[in-house]
Protein backbone atom coordinates (compact mmCIF):
# COMPACT_ATOMS: atom_id res chain seq x y z
CA UNK A 1 0.00 0.00 0.00
CA UNK A 2 1.16 3.52 -0.80
CA UNK A 3 -0.09 6.66 0.92
CA UNK A 4 -0.66 10.04 -0.66
CA UNK A 5 -3.14 12.88 -0.21
CA UNK A 6 -6.84 12.11 -0.59
CA UNK A 7 -8.03 14.51 -3.29
CA UNK A 8 -11.43 13.21 -4.33
CA UNK A 9 -13.59 10.73 -2.48
CA UNK A 10 -14.62 7.27 -3.58
CA UNK A 11 -13.10 3.92 -4.44
CA UNK A 12 -11.97 2.55 -7.79
CA UNK A 13 -10.45 -0.72 -8.93
CA UNK A 14 -8.99 -0.49 -12.41
CA UNK A 15 -6.07 -0.78 -14.80
CA UNK A 16 -3.09 1.56 -14.81
CA UNK A 17 -2.35 3.78 -17.80
CA UNK A 18 0.71 5.93 -17.28
CA UNK A 19 0.45 9.36 -18.83
CA UNK A 20 3.52 10.51 -20.70
CA UNK A 21 5.72 13.02 -18.96
CA UNK A 22 5.55 16.45 -20.50
CA UNK A 23 9.20 16.10 -21.35
CA UNK A 24 9.95 12.62 -22.61
CA UNK A 25 13.54 11.63 -22.02
CA UNK A 26 15.48 10.60 -25.09
CA UNK A 27 18.81 8.86 -24.87
CA UNK A 28 20.97 8.26 -27.90
CA UNK A 29 21.79 4.59 -28.42
CA UNK A 30 23.85 2.90 -31.13
CA UNK A 31 21.90 0.19 -32.95
CA UNK A 32 23.21 -2.80 -34.84
CA UNK A 33 19.96 -4.10 -36.31
CA UNK A 34 18.99 -1.10 -38.41
CA UNK A 35 16.07 -2.87 -40.11
CA UNK A 36 14.26 -3.82 -36.92
CA UNK A 37 14.80 -0.27 -35.59
CA UNK A 38 13.15 1.07 -38.74
CA UNK A 39 10.27 -1.37 -38.20
CA UNK A 40 9.87 -0.13 -34.65
CA UNK A 41 9.61 3.41 -35.96
CA UNK A 42 7.05 2.40 -38.62
CA UNK A 43 4.91 0.71 -35.99
CA UNK A 44 4.97 3.79 -33.75
CA UNK A 45 4.08 5.91 -36.78
CA UNK A 46 1.13 3.64 -37.58
CA UNK A 47 -0.13 3.67 -33.97
CA UNK A 48 0.11 7.45 -33.91
CA UNK A 49 -1.91 7.73 -37.12
CA UNK A 50 -4.63 5.47 -35.74
CA UNK A 51 -4.80 7.50 -32.52
CA UNK A 52 -5.08 10.74 -34.46
CA UNK A 53 -7.98 9.42 -36.54
CA UNK A 54 -9.90 8.61 -33.35
CA UNK A 55 -9.03 11.91 -31.71
CA UNK A 56 -10.07 13.84 -34.80
CA UNK A 57 -13.45 12.06 -34.88
CA UNK A 58 -14.06 12.86 -31.22
CA UNK A 59 -12.94 16.48 -31.61
CA UNK A 60 -15.24 16.91 -34.62
CA UNK A 61 -18.20 15.72 -32.61
CA UNK A 62 -17.41 17.72 -29.51
CA UNK A 63 -15.75 20.87 -30.77
CA UNK A 64 -16.63 21.16 -34.47
CA UNK A 65 -14.73 20.65 -37.69
CA UNK A 66 -12.59 23.78 -37.42
CA UNK A 67 -11.11 22.76 -34.07
CA UNK A 68 -10.59 19.21 -35.33
CA UNK A 69 -8.63 20.40 -38.36
CA UNK A 70 -5.44 20.60 -36.32
CA UNK A 71 -5.43 16.80 -35.93
CA UNK A 72 -5.87 16.45 -39.68
CA UNK A 73 -2.72 18.47 -40.23
CA UNK A 74 -0.90 16.33 -37.65
CA UNK A 75 -1.96 13.21 -39.53
CA UNK A 76 -0.80 14.74 -42.80
CA UNK A 77 2.66 15.27 -41.43
CA UNK A 78 2.83 11.60 -40.49
CA UNK A 79 1.77 10.71 -44.03
CA UNK A 80 4.52 12.87 -45.51
CA UNK A 81 7.08 10.46 -47.03
CA UNK A 82 9.84 13.04 -46.62
CA UNK A 83 9.29 13.21 -42.86
CA UNK A 84 9.23 9.44 -42.34
CA UNK A 85 12.03 9.01 -44.90
CA UNK A 86 14.27 11.47 -43.07
CA UNK A 87 13.88 9.53 -39.80
CA UNK A 88 14.59 6.20 -41.46
CA UNK A 89 17.62 7.70 -43.17
CA UNK A 90 18.82 8.96 -39.80
CA UNK A 91 18.57 5.46 -38.32
CA UNK A 92 20.34 3.94 -41.30
CA UNK A 93 23.13 6.46 -41.80
CA UNK A 94 23.98 7.22 -38.19
CA UNK A 95 23.07 3.76 -36.78
CA UNK A 96 21.19 5.39 -33.95
CA UNK A 97 17.96 4.51 -32.20
CA UNK A 98 14.62 5.61 -33.65
CA UNK A 99 13.90 8.01 -30.76
CA UNK A 100 17.06 10.04 -31.41
CA UNK A 101 16.63 9.97 -35.20
CA UNK A 102 13.03 11.15 -34.81
CA UNK A 103 14.01 13.94 -32.45
CA UNK A 104 16.70 15.18 -34.87
CA UNK A 105 14.17 15.39 -37.70
CA UNK A 106 11.54 17.06 -35.51
CA UNK A 107 14.11 19.63 -34.35
CA UNK A 108 15.15 20.28 -37.94
CA UNK A 109 11.56 20.77 -39.13
CA UNK A 110 10.67 22.93 -36.12
CA UNK A 111 13.78 25.03 -36.78
CA UNK A 112 12.77 25.60 -40.41
CA UNK A 113 9.27 26.69 -39.40
CA UNK A 114 10.60 28.93 -36.63
CA UNK A 115 12.72 30.91 -39.10
CA UNK A 116 9.82 31.65 -41.47
CA UNK A 117 8.52 35.18 -42.00
CA UNK A 118 4.87 34.31 -41.89
CA UNK A 119 3.43 34.08 -38.37
CA UNK A 120 1.02 31.31 -39.31
CA UNK A 121 3.88 29.21 -40.65
CA UNK A 122 5.99 29.92 -37.59
CA UNK A 123 3.20 28.52 -35.43
CA UNK A 124 3.23 25.28 -37.41
CA UNK A 125 6.51 24.53 -35.66
CA UNK A 126 4.45 23.77 -32.53
CA UNK A 127 2.39 21.24 -34.50
CA UNK A 128 5.53 19.44 -35.63
CA UNK A 129 6.73 19.23 -32.04
CA UNK A 130 3.36 18.02 -30.84
CA UNK A 131 3.08 15.29 -33.42
CA UNK A 132 6.71 14.33 -32.85
CA UNK A 133 5.92 13.90 -29.16
CA UNK A 134 3.07 11.57 -29.98
CA UNK A 135 5.29 9.31 -32.10
CA UNK A 136 7.96 9.42 -29.42
CA UNK A 137 5.45 8.43 -26.73
CA UNK A 138 4.46 5.45 -28.86
CA UNK A 139 8.11 4.50 -29.38
CA UNK A 140 8.70 4.65 -25.63
CA UNK A 141 5.52 2.69 -24.92
CA UNK A 142 4.00 5.59 -22.99
CA UNK A 143 0.43 6.41 -23.75
CA UNK A 144 -0.72 9.99 -23.74
CA UNK A 145 -3.66 11.12 -21.67
CA UNK A 146 -6.05 11.14 -24.66
CA UNK A 147 -8.89 9.13 -23.25
CA UNK A 148 -9.91 8.13 -26.79
CA UNK A 149 -7.27 5.48 -26.75
CA UNK A 150 -7.97 4.21 -23.27
CA UNK A 151 -9.88 1.13 -22.31
CA UNK A 152 -12.74 1.06 -19.82
CA UNK A 153 -11.83 1.18 -16.12
CA UNK A 154 -8.63 3.13 -16.65
CA UNK A 155 -6.77 4.62 -13.72
CA UNK A 156 -4.60 7.43 -15.10
CA UNK A 157 -1.20 7.67 -13.39
CA UNK A 158 0.83 10.82 -14.01
CA UNK A 159 3.63 12.86 -12.54
CA UNK A 160 1.17 15.75 -12.57
CA UNK A 161 -2.01 16.62 -14.44
CA UNK A 162 -2.66 20.14 -15.59
CA UNK A 163 -6.20 21.45 -15.12
CA UNK A 164 -6.71 21.15 -18.87
CA UNK A 165 -5.47 17.51 -18.88
CA UNK A 166 -8.02 16.81 -16.17
CA UNK A 167 -10.80 18.60 -18.03
CA UNK A 168 -10.18 16.29 -20.99
CA UNK A 169 -10.54 13.06 -19.04
CA UNK A 170 -13.44 10.99 -20.32
CA UNK A 171 -15.43 9.84 -17.31
CA UNK A 172 -16.87 6.89 -19.18
CA UNK A 173 -13.37 5.37 -19.30
CA UNK A 174 -11.24 7.01 -16.64
CA UNK A 175 -12.44 5.92 -13.21
CA UNK A 176 -9.70 7.51 -11.08
CA UNK A 177 -6.36 9.28 -11.26
CA UNK A 178 -3.13 9.35 -9.28
CA UNK A 179 -0.25 11.81 -9.34
CA UNK A 180 3.23 12.09 -7.88
CA UNK A 181 2.85 15.73 -6.88
CA UNK A 182 0.08 18.17 -5.97
CA UNK A 183 -2.12 18.96 -2.99
CA UNK A 184 -5.81 18.75 -2.12
CA UNK A 185 -6.55 22.17 -3.52
CA UNK A 186 -4.48 22.01 -6.70
CA UNK A 187 -6.87 22.56 -9.57
CA UNK A 188 -6.63 19.05 -10.95
CA UNK A 189 -7.80 17.74 -7.55
CA UNK A 190 -10.70 20.18 -7.58
CA UNK A 191 -11.60 19.03 -11.09
CA UNK A 192 -11.60 15.40 -9.93
CA UNK A 193 -14.22 16.27 -7.36
CA UNK A 194 -16.28 17.98 -10.07
CA UNK A 195 -15.98 14.89 -12.25
CA UNK A 196 -16.86 12.82 -9.18
CA UNK A 197 -14.01 10.39 -9.73
CA UNK A 198 -11.70 9.31 -6.90
CA UNK A 199 -8.19 10.74 -6.93
CA UNK A 200 -5.07 10.52 -4.80
CA UNK A 201 -2.31 13.11 -5.32
CA UNK A 202 1.13 13.68 -3.83
CA UNK A 203 2.06 9.98 -4.07
CA UNK A 204 5.69 11.04 -4.79
CA UNK A 205 6.84 8.14 -7.00
CA UNK A 206 3.69 6.43 -8.21
CA UNK A 207 4.73 6.73 -11.87
CA UNK A 208 7.80 4.59 -11.22
CA UNK A 209 6.03 2.16 -8.87
CA UNK A 210 3.53 0.88 -11.45
CA UNK A 211 3.55 -0.36 -15.04
CA UNK A 212 0.92 0.01 -17.72
CA UNK A 213 -1.64 -2.75 -17.28
CA UNK A 214 -1.16 -3.22 -13.52
CA UNK A 215 -4.33 -3.63 -11.48
CA UNK A 216 -4.69 -0.95 -8.85
CA UNK A 217 -7.07 -0.05 -6.03
CA UNK A 218 -7.62 3.65 -5.42
CA UNK A 219 -8.92 4.73 -2.03
CA UNK A 220 -9.86 8.41 -2.38
CA UNK A 221 -10.97 8.60 1.24
CA UNK A 222 -7.81 7.44 2.99
CA UNK A 223 -5.61 8.72 0.15
CA UNK A 224 -4.01 5.33 -0.51
CA UNK A 225 -3.47 2.87 -3.35
CA UNK A 226 -2.83 -0.87 -3.50
CA UNK A 227 -0.84 -2.10 -6.49
CA UNK A 228 -1.66 -5.54 -7.92
CA UNK A 229 -3.81 -6.54 -4.92
CA UNK A 230 -4.71 -10.14 -4.06
CA UNK A 231 -8.28 -11.43 -4.34
CA UNK A 232 -9.01 -10.92 -0.67
CA UNK A 233 -8.00 -7.24 -0.77
CA UNK A 234 -10.06 -6.67 -3.91
CA UNK A 235 -13.09 -8.17 -2.14
CA UNK A 236 -12.56 -5.95 0.91
CA UNK A 237 -12.42 -2.82 -1.25
CA UNK A 238 -15.43 -3.86 -3.29
CA UNK A 239 -17.35 -3.98 -0.03
CA UNK A 240 -16.08 -0.50 0.97
CA UNK A 241 -17.04 0.82 -2.46
CA UNK A 242 -20.54 -0.57 -2.08
CA UNK A 243 -20.91 1.00 1.38
CA UNK A 244 -19.74 4.36 0.04
CA UNK A 245 -22.18 4.23 -2.86
CA UNK A 246 -25.02 3.20 -0.52
CA UNK A 247 -24.38 6.23 1.70
CA UNK A 248 -24.40 8.47 -1.40
CA UNK A 249 -27.77 7.00 -2.37
CA UNK A 250 -29.21 7.57 1.09
CA UNK A 251 -28.14 11.21 1.12
CA UNK A 252 -30.23 11.75 -2.00
CA UNK A 253 -33.29 12.14 0.18
CA UNK A 254 -31.90 15.59 1.06
CA UNK A 255 -31.92 16.81 -2.54
CA UNK A 256 -34.94 19.05 -2.26
CA UNK A 257 -34.67 19.71 1.48
CA UNK A 258 -34.00 23.35 2.43
CA UNK A 259 -30.93 23.59 4.66
CA UNK A 260 -31.68 25.13 8.04
CA UNK A 261 -29.35 25.12 11.06
CA UNK A 262 -30.47 24.02 14.52
CA UNK A 263 -30.82 27.72 15.41
CA UNK A 264 -33.26 28.12 12.52
CA UNK A 265 -30.99 29.99 10.10
CA UNK A 266 -31.50 29.22 6.41
CA UNK A 267 -28.19 28.42 4.69
CA UNK A 268 -27.54 28.39 0.97
CA UNK A 269 -25.59 25.32 -0.12
CA UNK A 270 -24.30 25.94 -3.62
CA UNK A 271 -22.03 24.24 -6.14
CA UNK A 272 -18.71 25.17 -7.75
CA UNK A 273 -18.48 24.68 -11.49
CA UNK A 274 -15.81 24.95 -14.18
CA UNK A 275 -17.85 24.35 -17.30
CA UNK A 276 -21.45 25.39 -18.11
CA UNK A 277 -22.61 21.76 -18.30
CA UNK A 278 -21.52 21.21 -14.69
CA UNK A 279 -24.75 22.96 -13.58
CA UNK A 280 -26.54 19.67 -14.13
CA UNK A 281 -24.62 17.83 -11.44
CA UNK A 282 -25.13 20.76 -9.04
CA UNK A 283 -28.89 20.57 -9.61
CA UNK A 284 -28.87 16.77 -9.40
CA UNK A 285 -27.13 17.05 -6.01
CA UNK A 286 -29.64 19.55 -4.63
CA UNK A 287 -27.54 22.73 -4.92
CA UNK A 288 -29.35 25.98 -4.09
CA UNK A 289 -27.30 27.90 -6.61
CA UNK A 290 -23.84 28.30 -8.11
CA UNK A 291 -21.40 29.79 -5.61
CA UNK A 292 -18.40 29.82 -7.93
CA UNK A 293 -18.15 29.52 -11.68
CA UNK A 294 -14.43 29.34 -12.44
CA UNK A 295 -14.66 31.02 -15.84
CA UNK A 296 -11.02 30.43 -16.69
CA UNK A 297 -11.99 26.93 -17.81
CA UNK A 298 -13.85 28.54 -20.72
CA UNK A 299 -10.49 29.89 -21.82
CA UNK A 300 -8.62 26.57 -21.67
CA UNK A 301 -8.10 23.88 -24.30
CA UNK A 302 -8.22 26.23 -27.20
CA UNK A 303 -5.91 28.28 -29.34
CA UNK A 304 -7.49 31.66 -28.73
CA UNK A 305 -9.58 33.44 -26.10
CA UNK A 306 -13.36 32.85 -26.19
CA UNK A 307 -15.21 35.69 -27.91
CA UNK A 308 -17.80 37.89 -26.20
CA UNK A 309 -20.53 35.95 -27.99
CA UNK A 310 -19.22 32.54 -26.85
CA UNK A 311 -18.96 33.73 -23.26
CA UNK A 312 -22.39 35.35 -23.38
CA UNK A 313 -23.86 32.01 -24.50
CA UNK A 314 -22.07 30.14 -21.69
CA UNK A 315 -23.22 32.53 -18.94
CA UNK A 316 -26.78 32.70 -20.34
CA UNK A 317 -26.90 28.89 -20.35
CA UNK A 318 -25.94 28.66 -16.68
CA UNK A 319 -28.30 31.45 -15.60
CA UNK A 320 -31.21 29.95 -17.49
CA UNK A 321 -30.61 26.43 -16.24
CA UNK A 322 -30.49 27.71 -12.66
CA UNK A 323 -33.94 29.30 -13.11
CA UNK A 324 -33.57 32.32 -10.87
CA UNK A 325 -31.37 30.65 -8.25
CA UNK A 326 -28.27 32.72 -7.46
CA UNK A 327 -25.30 32.27 -9.79
CA UNK A 328 -21.95 33.68 -8.68
CA UNK A 329 -19.62 34.04 -11.65
CA UNK A 330 -15.99 34.84 -10.98
CA UNK A 331 -14.07 36.87 -13.52
CA UNK A 332 -11.00 35.34 -15.14
CA UNK A 333 -8.48 33.93 -12.66
CA UNK A 334 -5.58 32.91 -14.82
CA UNK A 335 -2.02 32.56 -13.54
CA UNK A 336 -0.82 30.46 -10.59
CA UNK A 337 -1.27 26.86 -11.76
CA UNK A 338 -3.63 27.83 -14.59
CA UNK A 339 -2.03 28.98 -17.81
CA UNK A 340 -3.22 29.56 -21.36
CA UNK A 341 -1.19 28.67 -24.45
CA UNK A 342 -2.20 31.88 -26.24
CA UNK A 343 -1.59 34.21 -23.30
CA UNK A 344 2.08 33.96 -22.46
CA UNK A 345 2.75 34.98 -18.87
CA UNK A 346 6.11 36.13 -17.57
CA UNK A 347 8.28 33.46 -15.95
CA UNK A 348 7.95 34.16 -12.24
CA UNK A 349 9.60 32.70 -9.17
CA UNK A 350 6.26 32.64 -7.35
CA UNK A 351 3.40 32.60 -9.85
CA UNK A 352 0.78 32.33 -7.07
CA UNK A 353 2.08 35.67 -5.76
CA UNK A 354 2.51 37.18 -9.16
CA UNK A 355 0.74 38.32 -12.27
CA UNK A 356 -2.58 36.61 -11.74
CA UNK A 357 -6.36 37.04 -11.68
CA UNK A 358 -7.59 40.64 -11.17
CA UNK A 359 -4.02 41.95 -11.45
CA UNK A 360 -3.76 40.59 -14.97
CA UNK A 361 -7.31 41.67 -15.89
CA UNK A 362 -6.77 45.27 -14.82
CA UNK A 363 -3.56 45.29 -16.82
CA UNK A 364 -5.12 43.64 -19.90
CA UNK A 365 -8.26 45.73 -20.01
CA UNK A 366 -9.23 44.67 -23.53
CA UNK A 367 -9.38 41.03 -22.40
CA UNK A 368 -11.29 41.94 -19.22
CA UNK A 369 -13.85 44.04 -21.07
CA UNK A 370 -14.82 41.17 -23.38
CA UNK A 371 -15.75 39.10 -20.34
CA UNK A 372 -17.54 41.92 -18.52
CA UNK A 373 -19.63 42.79 -21.57
CA UNK A 374 -20.63 39.12 -21.93
CA UNK A 375 -21.58 38.97 -18.24
CA UNK A 376 -23.58 42.19 -18.36
CA UNK A 377 -25.48 41.07 -21.46
CA UNK A 378 -26.25 37.65 -19.93
CA UNK A 379 -27.42 39.23 -16.66
CA UNK A 380 -31.01 39.60 -17.89
CA UNK A 381 -31.44 35.81 -17.94
CA UNK A 382 -31.27 35.13 -14.22
CA UNK A 383 -29.92 36.03 -10.80
CA UNK A 384 -26.35 37.09 -11.51
CA UNK A 385 -23.69 37.87 -8.92
CA UNK A 386 -20.21 38.72 -10.16
CA UNK A 387 -17.05 38.54 -8.09
CA UNK A 388 -13.44 39.51 -8.65
CA UNK A 389 -10.63 37.14 -7.62
CA UNK A 390 -7.48 38.00 -5.67
CA UNK A 391 -8.58 41.38 -4.39
CA UNK A 392 -5.95 42.72 -2.00
CA UNK A 393 -7.48 46.11 -1.28
CA UNK A 394 -10.26 48.55 -2.06
CA UNK A 395 -8.46 50.22 -4.96
CA UNK A 396 -8.58 47.06 -7.10
CA UNK A 397 -12.31 46.62 -6.51
CA UNK A 398 -13.01 50.25 -7.40
CA UNK A 399 -10.88 50.01 -10.54
CA UNK A 400 -12.69 46.84 -11.61
CA UNK A 401 -16.04 48.54 -11.02
CA UNK A 402 -14.89 51.47 -13.17
CA UNK A 403 -14.27 49.08 -16.07
CA UNK A 404 -17.73 47.61 -15.44
CA UNK A 405 -19.28 51.08 -15.69
CA UNK A 406 -17.40 51.70 -18.93
CA UNK A 407 -18.81 48.45 -20.38
CA UNK A 408 -22.32 49.27 -19.17
CA UNK A 409 -22.21 52.67 -20.88
CA UNK A 410 -21.03 51.06 -24.12
CA UNK A 411 -23.80 48.47 -24.02
CA UNK A 412 -26.45 51.11 -23.30
CA UNK A 413 -25.24 53.11 -26.28
CA UNK A 414 -25.56 49.95 -28.38
CA UNK A 415 -29.14 49.52 -27.14
CA UNK A 416 -28.39 46.30 -25.23
CA UNK A 417 -30.18 45.42 -21.98
CA UNK A 418 -28.36 44.96 -18.67
CA UNK A 419 -30.00 43.86 -15.41
CA UNK A 420 -30.16 46.42 -12.62
CA UNK A 421 -30.00 43.69 -9.97
CA UNK A 422 -26.50 42.31 -10.38
CA UNK A 423 -24.60 41.96 -7.10
CA UNK A 424 -20.87 42.81 -7.18
CA UNK A 425 -18.59 41.06 -4.72
CA UNK A 426 -15.03 39.99 -4.10
CA UNK A 427 -13.22 36.84 -3.20
CA UNK A 428 -11.55 37.15 0.16
CA UNK A 429 -8.51 34.98 -0.42
CA UNK A 430 -5.63 37.30 0.43
CA UNK A 431 -5.12 37.84 4.18
CA UNK A 432 -5.00 41.62 3.61
CA UNK A 433 -8.60 41.57 2.38
CA UNK A 434 -9.72 39.50 5.37
CA UNK A 435 -8.04 41.89 7.80
CA UNK A 436 -9.70 44.88 6.11
CA UNK A 437 -13.04 43.12 5.61
CA UNK A 438 -14.99 45.62 7.73
CA UNK A 439 -13.83 48.44 5.46
CA UNK A 440 -14.29 46.56 2.17
CA UNK A 441 -17.79 45.51 3.21
CA UNK A 442 -18.93 49.12 2.89
CA UNK A 443 -18.37 48.97 -0.87
CA UNK A 444 -19.15 45.42 -1.99
CA UNK A 445 -22.44 43.51 -2.10
CA UNK A 446 -20.93 40.29 -0.77
CA UNK A 447 -17.82 38.33 0.11
CA UNK A 448 -16.90 34.82 -0.87
CA UNK A 449 -14.00 33.40 1.11
CA UNK A 450 -11.50 31.57 -1.07
CA UNK A 451 -9.84 29.37 1.50
CA UNK A 452 -7.73 27.46 -1.03
CA UNK A 453 -5.60 30.54 -1.47
CA UNK A 454 -6.31 32.17 1.90
CA UNK A 455 -4.78 29.18 3.71
CA UNK A 456 -1.67 29.06 1.53
CA UNK A 457 -1.03 32.78 1.91
CA UNK A 458 -1.73 32.83 5.65
CA UNK A 459 0.43 29.85 6.50
CA UNK A 460 3.01 30.40 3.72
CA UNK A 461 2.38 26.81 2.62
CA UNK A 462 2.14 26.30 -1.15
CA UNK A 463 -1.20 24.65 -1.94
CA UNK A 464 0.47 22.67 -4.74
CA UNK A 465 3.23 21.16 -2.65
CA UNK A 466 2.87 17.73 -1.10
CA UNK A 467 6.04 18.45 0.88
CA UNK A 468 4.39 21.14 2.99
CA UNK A 469 0.86 19.78 2.92
CA UNK A 470 1.18 18.96 6.63
CA UNK A 471 1.20 22.72 7.27
CA UNK A 472 -1.77 23.41 5.05
CA UNK A 473 -4.35 23.28 7.81
CA UNK A 474 -7.79 24.88 7.38
CA UNK A 475 -8.35 24.69 11.15
CA UNK A 476 -5.20 26.64 12.06
CA UNK A 477 -6.28 29.36 14.54
CA UNK A 478 -4.90 32.11 12.28
CA UNK A 479 -7.03 30.92 9.38
CA UNK A 480 -10.09 30.62 11.61
CA UNK A 481 -9.60 34.14 12.96
CA UNK A 482 -9.41 35.58 9.45
CA UNK A 483 -12.58 33.75 8.44
CA UNK A 484 -14.41 34.99 11.52
CA UNK A 485 -13.25 38.56 10.90
CA UNK A 486 -14.45 38.40 7.31
CA UNK A 487 -17.92 37.12 8.22
CA UNK A 488 -18.29 39.67 11.02
CA UNK A 489 -17.05 42.46 8.74
CA UNK A 490 -19.70 41.60 6.16
CA UNK A 491 -22.50 41.31 8.69
CA UNK A 492 -21.66 44.64 10.31
CA UNK A 493 -22.50 46.30 7.00
CA UNK A 494 -25.54 44.13 6.35
CA UNK A 495 -23.81 42.14 3.58
CA UNK A 496 -23.75 38.38 3.15
CA UNK A 497 -20.67 36.21 3.31
CA UNK A 498 -20.12 32.89 1.56
CA UNK A 499 -17.22 30.50 1.13
CA UNK A 500 -16.25 28.82 -2.13
CA UNK A 501 -12.89 27.36 -1.15
CA UNK A 502 -12.70 23.62 -0.52
CA UNK A 503 -13.02 24.19 3.23
CA UNK A 504 -16.74 24.91 2.74
CA UNK A 505 -17.27 21.22 1.97
CA UNK A 506 -14.80 19.95 4.58
CA UNK A 507 -16.73 17.74 6.99
CA UNK A 508 -14.43 18.70 9.87
CA UNK A 509 -14.91 22.44 9.35
CA UNK A 510 -18.65 22.77 8.79
CA UNK A 511 -19.72 23.02 12.47
CA UNK A 512 -17.25 25.87 13.09
CA UNK A 513 -18.36 27.73 9.96
CA UNK A 514 -22.01 27.46 11.00
CA UNK A 515 -21.06 28.79 14.43
CA UNK A 516 -19.27 31.78 12.82
CA UNK A 517 -22.44 32.63 10.90
CA UNK A 518 -21.38 31.82 7.32
CA UNK A 519 -24.39 32.46 5.06
CA UNK A 520 -23.49 30.44 1.99
CA UNK A 521 -21.37 27.31 1.48
CA UNK A 522 -20.22 26.50 -2.04
CA UNK A 523 -18.40 23.31 -3.00
CA UNK A 524 -17.92 20.53 -5.53
CA UNK A 525 -21.30 19.09 -6.46
CA UNK A 526 -20.38 15.71 -4.99
CA UNK A 527 -19.97 17.22 -1.50
CA UNK A 528 -23.28 19.14 -1.37
CA UNK A 529 -25.56 16.49 0.13
CA UNK A 530 -23.18 15.50 2.91
CA UNK A 531 -22.67 19.20 3.74
CA UNK A 532 -26.44 19.75 3.90
CA UNK A 533 -26.73 16.88 6.35
CA UNK A 534 -23.94 18.24 8.57
CA UNK A 535 -25.17 21.85 8.51
CA UNK A 536 -28.60 20.68 9.65
CA UNK A 537 -27.02 18.87 12.61
CA UNK A 538 -25.39 22.10 13.82
C1 LIG B 1 -9.91 29.67 -3.52
O2 LIG B 1 -8.80 30.17 -3.62
O3 LIG B 1 -10.38 29.22 -2.46
C4 LIG B 1 -10.78 29.55 -4.69
C5 LIG B 1 -12.02 29.12 -4.58
O6 LIG B 1 -10.26 29.86 -5.90
P7 LIG B 1 -9.26 28.91 -6.72
O8 LIG B 1 -9.24 27.57 -6.06
O9 LIG B 1 -9.80 28.82 -8.11
O10 LIG B 1 -7.97 29.64 -6.62
MG1 LIG C 1 -8.27 31.31 -5.36
Share of residues in the chain with pLDDT > 90 (%): 72
In eight-state DSSP terms, residue 237 is H
**Res 216: pLDDT:** 98
Mean pLDDT of 509-529: 97
In terms of Cα–Cα distance, which of 138, 29, 26, 40 is closest to 88?
Answer: 40
Report H helices in 64-205. Answer: 65-79, 81-94, 98-114, 119-139, 163-168, 187-195
Question: Which residues belong to the active site?
Answer: 187, 500
pLDDT at position 267 over 60: yes
Classified as helix, coil or strand, 220 is coil
Please report the sign of the dihedral spanned by the C-alpha atoms of residue 230, residue 232, residue 234, residue 236: negative
Decide if 285 contacts 528 (C-beta within 8 A): yes
Tell me the pLDDT band of 183, cut-offs 50, 70 and 90.
confident
Q: Which of 167, 429, 430, 456 to mutate to test the pocket of ligand 1 (most atoms within 8 A of CB)?
A: 429
Interacting residues of 337 by C-beta distance below 8 A, sequence separation 6+? 162, 163, 186, 187, 351, 352, 464
What is the Å distance from ligand 2's center to 410 Cα? 30
Mean pLDDT of all residues in 440-466: 96
Domains of the chain (ranges, CATH numbers): 2-19+145-233 (3.50.30.10), 34-140 (1.10.274.10), 252-536 (3.20.20.60)
Which residue minimizes the CA distance to atom 1 of ligand 1? 450
Instruction: Name the helix (H) or strand (E) containing 481.
Output: helix 477-492
pLDDT of residue 119: 67
Tell which wins on pLDDT, 116 or 45: 45
Q: Is the pLDDT reported for residue 308 higher than 70?
A: yes
Residues with CB under 5 A from ligand 2 (ion): 429, 450, 453
> Which one of the ligands is nearest to 455 CA?
1
Does residue 123 carry a pLDDT above 90? no
HSE at residue 361, side-chain half, CA atoms within 13 A, is 27
**309-341, pLDDT tens digit by residue?**
999 999 999 999 999 999 999 999 998 888 888
Query: What pLDDT does 164 receive?
Result: 62
Q: Is 452 in the pocket of ligand 1 (CB under 6 A)?
A: yes
CA-450 nearest atom, ligand 1:
3
pTM: 0.76
Question: How much of the chain, in percent, has pLDDT values that exceed 70?
Answer: 95
Residue 101 phi/psi, 5-degree rounding, is: -60, -40
Q: Which is more confident, 465 or 391?
A: 391
Residue among 290, 275, 361, 351 nearest 325 (CA): 290
Q: Who wins on pLDDT, 63 or 214?
A: 214
Distance CA 309, CA 137 (A): 38
Ligand 1: residue whose CA is nearest its atom 6: 450
Q: For 255-269, what is the mean pLDDT? A: 97
**Can you tell me whether residue 165 is helix, strand or coil?**
helix
Q: What is the pLDDT of residues 145-158, one digit of tens each?
A: 565 567 889 999 99
> In the structure, what pLDDT confidence band is assigned to residue 75 with cuts at 50, 70 and 90?
confident
Arithmetic mean of pLDDT over the chain? 91
User: How many angstroms is it from 335 CA to the middle of ligand 1?
Assistant: 12
With a 6 Å cutoff on the Cβ, whether 132 touches ligand 1 is no
Strand 199-201 to strand 174-179: parallel, antiparallel, or no bridges (unpaired)?
Answer: parallel
Q: Which residue minimizes the CA distance to atom 3 of ligand 1? A: 450
- When mean pLDDT is compared across 147-161, 408-422, 472-486, the lowest value belongs to 147-161
Whether the CB of 333 sits within 6 Å of ligand 1: yes
pLDDT at 18 over 70: yes
Amino acid sequence: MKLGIAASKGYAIGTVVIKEENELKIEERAVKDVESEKERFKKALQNSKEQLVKIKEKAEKEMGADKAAVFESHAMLLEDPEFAGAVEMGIENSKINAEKALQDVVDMYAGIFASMEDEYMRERGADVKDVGKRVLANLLGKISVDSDIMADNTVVVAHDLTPSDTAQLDKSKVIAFLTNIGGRTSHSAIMARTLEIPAVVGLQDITSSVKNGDTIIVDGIEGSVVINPDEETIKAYEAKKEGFEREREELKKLISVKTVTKAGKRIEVAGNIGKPEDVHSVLANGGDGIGLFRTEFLYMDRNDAPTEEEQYEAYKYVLEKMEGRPVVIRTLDIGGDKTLPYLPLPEEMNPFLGYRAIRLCLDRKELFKIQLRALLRASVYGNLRVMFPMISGLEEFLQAKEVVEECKAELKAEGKDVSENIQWGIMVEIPAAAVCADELAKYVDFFSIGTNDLIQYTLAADRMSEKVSYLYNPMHPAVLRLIKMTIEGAHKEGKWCGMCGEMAGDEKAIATLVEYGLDEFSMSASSILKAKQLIMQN
